């Protein structure tokens, strides 16, 4: 089974945790494997279900880069949301 690295993005920590709790409730046999502080490894077949649960919990699921340092490098090039105001 092919695994994907995903990031769960909630409005805040409460909503992100709600996704994790709801996933565990609906799919107790399918474990999300933490990968770093923000990402999880999942089976490719679970992506649609995880996105549906995230939507119900005011959150989104995005594919995370395979190389996490690449995302931090790109963020350094983009202006922060705080500075854009």
pLDDT digits (tens, 9 = 90+) for 11-67: 999 999 999 999 999 999 999 999 988 899 999 999 999 999 999 999 999 998 876
Domain boundaries, the chain: 3-84
CA–CA dist 71, 16 (Å, integer): 20
Task: State phi, psi for 66 to the nearest 5 degrees.
Answer: -65, -25
**Residue 58, C-beta contacts closer than 8 angstroms, at least 6 positions apart:** 10, 11, 15, 18
CATH 3.40.1000 fits 3-84, yes or no: no
């Amino acid at each position: 089974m092919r695994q994907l690295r995903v990031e769960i993005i909630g409005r805040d920590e409460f909503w992100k945790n709600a996704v994790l709790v709801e996933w565990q409730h609906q799919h107790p046999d399918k474990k999300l494997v933490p990968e770093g502080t923000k990402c999880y490894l999942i089976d490719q077949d679970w992506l649609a279900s995880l996105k549906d649960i995230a939507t119900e919990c005011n959150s989104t699921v995005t594919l995370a880069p395979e190389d996490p340092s690449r995302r931090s490098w790109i963020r350094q090039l983009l202006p922060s949301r705080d500075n854009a105001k």
